[in-house]
Structure 1
Amino acid sequence: MAPELLEHQSLGALIGLRYNDLGDLEVQIASENTRKIIGYGPEQLFALNSFLDVLKDEVRDEMVARVNHTLHDSTATNQETRLDVFKIILTFPFEPDVRLWCAMHHAPEPEGLVICEFEEYHDAFMLRDIRAASSLPEAPISSMEVSPEELARSTTSKSRPLPVINVARQRKNKEFSSLDLFNALSQAQKQISWCTSVQNVLEVVVGIVAELTGFHRVMVYRFDSQKNGCVDAELVNPQASTDVWLGLNYPSSDIPQQARELYVINRIRLLHDREAETSRLVCRNERDFEKPLNLTHAYLRAMSPVHNKYLANMGVRSTMSISIVIDGDLWGLIACHGYGDVGIKVSLPIRELCRNIGECVAFKIQQLLMKKRIDARRAPMPTPSQNNAGFIAASSSDLLKLVDAEFAILSVDDDARAIGRLDPYQEAIAITSYLQTCKFTSIRASDNISADFPAIASIRQINTIAGFLLVPLNFGGGNDCIVFFRKGQTKQVKWAGNPHEKKYRSTEGEYLEPRASFQRWVDTVSGTSREWTEDQIDTASVLGLLYGRFIEVWRQKGSAKQANQISQIRASSRELRTPLNAIVNYLEMALENRIDDKTRHILDRAQEASTSLGYVMEDLLKLTKPEDTPTHGSEETFNLSLTVSRAMKGLQKDASCKDLDMTVSVSEQLPRMVKGGLIRFKEVLQHLTSYAYRQSRSINVQIDLIGTHRDTSTVGFIIKDNGPGMSESELDDVFQELEQAQDDDDWLFATNESGPAAAPPGPRADLAIVARYIRDVNGQIRLSSEPGRGTIFRLEIPFTHAQSCELSRSRKFKSLFSPSLSSHRGLSPPSPPPPVGAPKLGLSAGKRPEAAGPSLNQADRTLGPGPDSPRHVPSIELNGRPEASTRVVSNGRSSRNDTNSGPHTETDSMDPVAAGPKLTVLIAEDNIVSQKMLGKKIAMRGHDVIFASDGQEAHDRFAASGGRVDIILMDLKMPSVDGALATRMIRFYEKESSFRAQQATGRDSLTPRPRVPILAMSAQLLEDHRFEYIQTGFDGWIVKPLDFQRLDLILQGVKNAGAKRESLYVPGQWEKGGWFFP
């Protein structure tokens, strides 16, 4: 209905008033029927100097006051129609006075115009025994077949009669007073307030409105999320119509958006008679036509011809609507219909009463809906045996009941877990994957996925799941979420007539007329789920907040726990590494002496065992370093080809013992030396074949190289059985078991009914082990099956390459003092050659060789180095970096140059080696073993050594040295006085000594003694803290475990500027150690 229509219903008259320049209230606009309603025609009204001239004296002041109030307080009217309704009396020269009802409001356009609508004064309630019969049709309207039960339900009132109406029916004076209206409103509100459900409210209000207005049919027309209408309650007079509209649906096009917006503004709309002629509006001057009058807030604005035709097709003559507005949105309408040949009149006071009843209904419905939301938020009452704190998280069924979902997926840190049984599995995974790529930050709901998200259907055909509710858990900026799912359902929708039967204009494409039939038309709808209600979405938002906070706290707790473990590892590492480093270095020193071959062989084995333990220590310490990628401390270097061959050989042997058939095909292109979890990898092969044997007595295993990228090779494992195969639903079950194969200790929420439990024996345990391994190594697992044709498992496992030499010596263990043997010795002493016939299979340093198994085939035998493999001459870099070291341990023995396998020469003695100018080095180290070892190494270089066991002793020995100390190696962590405090004490002593010398000689020109360089020495030195070390007074640093070649270069820098420049600080090379400044 366009608000610019300049037509008015003939039930009342309209005039527009405006103050002129003289302050008179002139009539600017009038409807053509003013003479019939008011008694003055438009020409007479325009001729008046002021409209007040035709009012009775006693109401003129009231009229002026109401006009001024309307002009100055029009804010509420612009948002919602709230007219000022009052009684007015017009006077005539030779006729009796006329009383009228007047409804006044400020017109939005043009500015300054006050609209007054006048209606016949009627002040009596509608009494059925007086006026009801005159408005009834000759025969009841009947256009559909209804059952007696349906008719009885729609003709029985659920409301109680209003006492004020009963009193008015019995008294002689039928007029109502303002107190009667107040009593009617109070009595109606009391009945509504007693209602306990929304449906009960609707059933009561239709009875109350029917009693107050006398309409033959009163119904509640509720709008759904698509703005389609549904009749949820009705009360019909069977003498007027036997049609039952309860439960029928109406398409959204019946009440378009523009009309719905007007219903929000006009809470009361009335059409007295659809066949009555409308009255045109007449303007005082031609210029008043330049700005069309806006009748948005007019009570008696004329209806559109399309709407009148719509009512005619239903056989309806009179209508009135009462809007139910909740939170600014049109929730529904109380629609009133009158039949017969005479329109039903409802006076202005009764219409205002109905508007207040509509507001009371809206408030009660909102209250009940809010109560339902609050009840939905309450957690189910746990049984005494359940843990209250974890009940919601531990019980998947109760979690699903909160939003009435059938199953769900919880995704945290890119790990997904099923809540309930995913059916179908593949559709749920496809939908969840798509939603995660969208990265929604607010709740999303859909009851028709194909229509709302066509991109999902383009990725995978969605047949079963029709609705989802996405709840983002975005605390910390992650992509965590919970997705609830509902399956599609086939439902029948009863429409009032065929909603698709519409006639259009041939040129403009607009409706020419509405559908002519309103008989029941049943439409079968599929591909949609139940609609997500507002309280369910509200509950989901609370769940999102709750789970989001849980995840945030869980992550913080995990970080704190990890930080605590790291600090414990760091604290214990120093205590463990110090004696271990001493053992390794003492063994190296022992090997440098002249000893017999048998003793050398024993010392070699001891050194290798100690070095292997050092590797484990370094792996543990790597866990304490923050890195972008996860570090697995269980990684080790092994021969993949040999491991696979041996594992398959053992499985074939077990299969033959059990009368099972197993065919194995291993590619020769597999990488040899790789890093990874050897034990877990072999367990995966064992459990996967074990699962395959449960399906068939014959399996085929194929292992190939899929591809290589830089230092990583992806190996494919295909296990195929000849069993009965699996159906689609059985495949879904297997995939869900794989998805649920998570470590319960590491997962935030338990989603099974019984809480955390160990994996059950049998197939599920096999799948759990396989799934966890694949997850940890970032691999992939695929499963395909077809009934009657068997099942195929496809695994893709990435392996990081390891150099061949890392088989025996993964890396050079950086001991606390590890000088290069080759720096002052030509070649390392040899070790005895391996015994003849020993297998040349590479083993990781420090690892026990596997027990000899069945003889290997030719391919297996050529996996390791052959009998003619050349021996490796050690060439160990002094910085101790694993990449640069090439010492090889084969068959558990250190391979050295065979040219020195005979008796040792004099060069093997412990003679000092010249290393530049002789220095006096003060070593501050609290560990006696490390102290003596470091002193011995430095003394071997020809330097003098002074020892101190703590910071105070270091200060005292420096002060007592008389200036002989050339450099100080200061350990940071020492008892009593630590290295930092000792350094500040020494710097203070230097300044004090210089000041005293100047005071004693009285000459400021005395050349001060050079500052003694101090090197910070610790395993905990950090590059980011270097400025703190400089401010403390340190001149350089050296990181434990020490690289003795680097230390030697730093010591030379005390008196050699070139050596000092060579060992200056370089960003990114902190572990080398050096000088801060030249």
Structure 2
Amino acid sequence: MEKKQAPISFTIEKNYDSEFCGSIPLHLVNLIQPHGVLLALDPQDLQIVQVSENVEKVLGVSVADFLNQPISKFLPTHQWEDIQQKVNGKGKQEKIPFSITFLVQGKETNLTALVHPKEEYVLIELEDNQDTSSKDSFLKLYQQIKYLTSLIKQAGSTKEIAQITVEEIKKLTGFDRVLAYQFDPQWNGIVIGQAKEEDMDDYMDLRFPASDVPKQSRDLYFSNPYRLIPTRDYTPVKLMPLINPLSQRFTDLSDCNLRSVATVHLEYLANLQIMASMSLPLIIDNQLWGLISCHHKTPINPSYELRSALELLSGIVSGQLAAKERENTIALKAQLRGIHAQLLEQLYTIPTLAEGLLSGTPNIQDLLNLSGAAVFFEGDVWTSGEVPEASDLKELVYWLRRNRTEKLFVTDTLPHQYMRARDYKGVASGLIALPINAEQGEYILGFRPEVLQTISWGGDPNQAIQMEADGKTYHPRNSFATYQETVKQTSLPWLEEQIEAAETLRSAVLEKIIKERY
């Protein structure tokens, strides 16, 4: 039997979304990366109550001299007023960086600031804003964004959008490798777009287990427009004092770009043979759809201007992906509505229910993309296409009656759920069951055959997490060599639109039966 590359919506029986990795409180690490300074202020008087210990290196003033001082002491009046407005103003949820000048012992230090007002305290991130790019960088960025937008609007598919995006982002940023990564229903990710230097490993079409981007990390993408690690070879910087005096807890760094990275992730980057990374979320309908992941072989720290451009681009790309998916959905729904209308006309013009569903063109097989179908109604059984033997069909209906009563039942892994189906997996690895009268064993059944599907993993997913003897310390896999797995006893997945079409058909059949009987 021919092996096909498993589609993104394909059901993978094993769950690789590690609960252990997903339970680590990443937002409470109380450490930051050293390319910036973090301040925590009292929201009432904007007095500094907590500061990262690298403040002396950046601003030339000790932690002790900075703590418990009003931030106004170090700022020009107009910038102090600007921060007050950002803390108290209506737009406080907007993460918009701005330039700020610290005046310390007669020395001016120009930085880029980002304010995060919270209920108990205010966080301010500070980074060096010395931009080495040319004076017309804004115009160049604007032109490139416009160009990319026009290209992806003309793309014919999701994969084409992804490929155009990674190619243009690579040109824009200079990163050595840029990947577009889409999540499957079990949160494993598959690379659907790639642009890279020739000497970088090829990850196109490879799937990565969900534990590579655990739940905690996925959730944080809704708080952060991007995740930047300028270099994995850094020493984390502590916040002083350790416990936030206002909350009496570790400071919540969910919103902070400077938040330090778990050691295991830095080890993961080392195993990927990269020094720096940046990732941007692709969010559709308030769901994390995928990521744009940028890798670099040496340390790299993109300017705020470039980061802002990438943030904007990720939103534009997300919008175009959503539009393309809606376009595909609308087209498929229109096609299914057309088939349904013809099938409905057939149901009311052909004498028996089974003939109306199974005979003629189109029929239920055309509507739901089936290889075979069976109708159990009023004590009789009718079939079309390839279906299990009569005795197997009766046993299957008995199993459905016992386990699935009044609801539509859909699976693309029937042999995994119903042991007897392994004997006829070649014709019925996929099943859709429409109950007419479940108590009486009346069903419309649709079948799909087994399709041997190959999953190409980026490394063995069973070795994704390697625990040490203490049961607490763990390491990521150290090899990303392609690991292929052939999945058996599965059919092609059922599309959401096909399931909706089946529900609509079931309603139409029940309405017809009621009209005829009453």
**TM-score, structure 2 as length reference:** 0.83
Q: Which residue of 1 aligns with 2:96?
A: 84
Q: Which amino acid aligns with 1:495?
A: W
- Partner of residue 210, structure 1: 170
Superposed displacement of residue 494, structure 1: 1.9
1:46 aligns with 2:46: no
In structure 1, which of residues 500, 505, 530 is the aligned counterpart of residue 492 of structure 2? 530
Deviation at 1:17, TM superposition (A): 1.2
Q: 1:90 is aligned with what amino acid? A: F
Structure-1 separation of matches of 2:311 and 2:428: 40
Task: Figure out how many residues of one structure are paired with residues of the other and give that number.
Answer: 482
1:321 aligns with 2:284: no
Structure 2 residue 513 is the aligned partner of structure 1 residue 548:
no
> Cα gap change, 1:388/1:553 in structure 2, threshold over 3 Å: closer, same or farther?
closer
Displacement of 1:124 = 5.8
Matched, 1:117 2:137: no
After TM superposition, give the deviation of residue 192 of structure 1 in Å.
1.9
* Of 131, 135, 141, the match for 1:174: 135
Q: Is the 8 A contact 1:283 1:289 kept in 2?
A: no
**Cα distance change, pair 188–251 in 1 and its aligned pair in 2 (3 A):** same
Aligned to 2:318, the other structure's residue is in SS state helix
Question: For residues 217 and 29 of structure 1, do their structure 2 counterparts lie closer, same or farther at Cα, with a shift above 3 Å needed?
Answer: same
Q: CA deviation at 1:272?
A: 1.0
Q: Which residue is 2:85 aligned to?
A: 65
The answer (yes or no) to whether the contact 1:18–1:112 under 8 Å persists in 2 is yes
Q: Secondary structure at the match of 2:27?
A: coil
Distance 1:360 1:515, change over 3 A: same
Secondary structure, counterpart of 1:500 in structure 2: helix
The amino acid of 1:88's aligned partner reads I
Counterpart Cα distance in 2 of 1:263 and 1:280: 23
- Residue in 2 aligned with 1:14? 38
Preserved contact between residue 396 and residue 419 of structure 1 (Cα < 8 Å): no
Alpha-carbon separation, structure 2, partners of 1:255 and 1:467: 31
- Residues 81-230 of structure 1: pairs in structure 2 closer than 5 A: 83-95=95-107, 97-107=108-118, 111-123=119-131, 173-177=134-138, 182-230=142-190
Shift of 1:254: 2.1
- The separation in 2 between residues aligned to 1:380 and 1:297, in whole angstroms, is 44
Measured in 2, the distance between the counterparts of 1:29 and 1:288 equals 9
- Describe the shift of the 1:114–1:478 C-alpha distance in structure 2 as closer, same or farther (beyond 3 A): farther
Please state whether the residue corresponding to 1:60 is helix, strand or coil. helix
Q: Percent same amino acid at aligned positions?
A: 23
Partners of 1:402 and 1:459 in 2: CA distance: 24
**1: CA distance, partners of 2:452 / 2:307:** 43
The change in CA–CA distance for 1:514 and 1:37 in structure 2 (over 3 A counts) is same
Q: What's the secondary structure of 1:308's corresponding residue?
A: helix
- Does the residue aligned with 1:531 lie in a helix, a strand or coil? coil
Q: Is the 8 A contact 1:37 1:119 kept in 2?
A: no
User: Does residue 1:272 correspond to 2:230, yes or no?
Assistant: yes
Report the counterpart of residue 47 of structure 2 in structure 1.
26
User: How many Å separate the matches in 2 of 1:382 and 1:331?
Assistant: 30
Aligned-pair CA distance for 1:397: 6.2
Q: Which amino acid aligns with 1:6?
A: N
Q: Deviations over 1:64-122 (max 9, x none)?
A: 101112xx667xx6xxxx52322222224432x32211122134xxx321111111114
Q: What are the superposed Cα offsets for residues 311-335 of structure 1, whole Å, 9 maximum, x if unpaired?
A: 1111111111111122332221111
**Does 1:409 pair with 2:374?**
yes
Shift of 1:544: 1.8
Distance (Å, rounded) in 1 between the aligned partners of 2:169 and 2:158: 17
- Give a deviation string over 1:186-227, Cα, whole Å, max 9, x none: 333222222121111001110222123221100111111222
Q: 1:286 to 1:518 in 2, by over 3 A?
A: closer
Deviation at 1:527, TM superposition (A): 1.9
Give the match's secondary structure for 2:462. Answer: coil
What is the DSSP-based 3-state SS (H/G/I as helix, E as strand, rest coil) of the residue aligned with 2:432? strand
Which whole-Å deviations, capped at 9, do the CAs of 1:783-818 have from their partners, x for residues lacking one? xxxxxxxxxxxxxxxxxxxxxxxxxxxxxxxxxxxx
Instruction: Give the Cα separation in 2 of the matches to 1:478 and 1:349.
Output: 67
The residue identity in structure 1 corresponding to 2:412 is D
Relative distance call for 1:213 and 1:489 in structure 2 (3 A) is same
In structure 1, what is the equivalent of residue 195 of structure 2?
A: 235
Q: Which residue of 2 aligns with 1:361?
A: 317
Give the counterpart letter for 1:99 in structure 2.
N
Which position in structure 1 is the counterpart of 2:203? 245
Q: 1:335 to 1:382 in 2, by over 3 A?
A: closer
Q: Does 1:344 align with 2:300?
A: yes
Distance in 2, matches of 1:200 and 1:424, equals 44
Q: Please, what is the CA RMSD of the aligned residues?
A: 3.2
Aligned to 1:290: 248
- For the 8 Å contact 1:213–1:350, the answer to whether it is kept is yes
Q: For 1:326 and 1:429, locate their aligned partners in 2 and report how far apart those are by CA, in whole Å.
A: 43
Residues 457 and 359 of structure 1, relative CA distance in 2, 3 Å threshold: same
Q: For residues 725-769 of structure 1, what are the alpha-carbon distances to aligned partners after superposition, in whole Å with 9 as ceiling and x for unaligned?
A: xxxxxxxxxxxxxxxxxxxxxxxxxxxxxxxxxxxxxxxxxxxxx
Aligned to 2:467: 504
Aligned letter for 1:552?
E
- How far apart in 1 are the matches of 2:256 and 2:343? 62
- Relative distance call for 1:517 and 1:381 in structure 2 (3 A) is closer
User: Which residue number corresponds to residue 859 of structure 1?
Assistant: none
Q: Aligned equivalents of 2:436 and 2:112: distance in 1?
A: 59
Q: CA deviation at 1:369?
A: 1.9
1:265, distance to aligned residue in structure 2 (A): 3.6
- How far apart are the structure 1 equivalents of 2:428 and 2:60? 65
CA contact (8 A) 1:9 1:279 kept: yes
How far did residue 228 of structure 1 move? 1.7
Partners of 2:437 and 2:443 within 8 A in 1: no
- What is the match of residue 776 of structure 1? none
Change (3 A) 1:543 1:12: same
Please give the secondary structure, in 2, of the residue aligned with 1:19.
Answer: coil
- Asked whether the equivalents of residues 177 and 294 of structure 2 are also in contact (C-alpha less than 8 Å), the reply is yes
Cα distance change, pair 414–317 in 1 and its aligned pair in 2 (3 A) = farther
Q: Aligned with 1:59: secondary structure?
A: helix
Deviations 1:342-394 (A, max 9, x none): x11122232232222222222222222222222222348999xx999329944
Taking a change above 3 Å as real, the CA distance of residues 443 and 553 of structure 1, as seen in their structure-2 partners, is closer
Higher RCO by CA contacts (8 Å cutoff, separation 6 or greater): 2
> Is the 1:445–1:467 contact (alpha carbons within 8 Å) kept by the matching residues of 2?
no
- How big is the shift at 1:279? 0.7
How do residues 664-703 of structure 1 correspond to structure 2 at under 5 angstroms? none
Residue 448 of structure 2 aligns to a residue whose secondary structure is strand
C-alpha contact (below 8 Å) 2:344/2:508 kept by paired residues: no
Q: What letter corresponds to residue 187 of structure 2 in structure 1?
A: K
Residues 253, 476 of structure 1: alpha-carbon distance in 2 compared, 3 angstrom cutoff: closer
Q: 1:263 aligns with which of 205, 216, 221?
A: 221
Alignment of 1:959-978 (within 5 A): none
- 1:176 is displaced (CA, Å) by 3.4
What CA distance in whole angstroms lies between the structure 1 residues aligned with 2:396 and 2:164? Answer: 44
1:481/1:379 CA distance change after superposition, 3 Å: farther
> 1:303 and 1:285 mapped to 2: Cα distance?
19
In the TM superposition, residue 504 of structure 1 has moved relative to its aligned partner by: 1.6
**Structure 1 pair 352/207, CA: closer, same or farther in 2 (3 Å)?**
same
Q: Secondary structure at the match of 2:28?
A: coil
In the TM superposition, residue 180 of structure 1 has moved relative to its aligned partner by: 5.8
Alignment map for 1:980-999 (pairs within 5 Å): none
1:366 and 1:402 mapped to 2: Cα distance? 25
Query: Any conservation in 2 of the 1:380–1:398 contact (CA below 8 Å)?
Result: no
In structure 2, list runs of 5 or more residues that go unmatched: 1-23, 348-355
What is the correspondence of 1:639-650 to structure 2 with a 5 Å cutoff?
A: none
SS at match of 2:488: strand
Verify the 8 A CA contact 2:405 2:439 in the aligned structure 1. Answer: no
TM-score (ref. length: structure 1): 0.42
User: 1:7·1:302 contact (CA, 8 Å) conserved in 2?
Assistant: yes
Partner of 2:414: 449
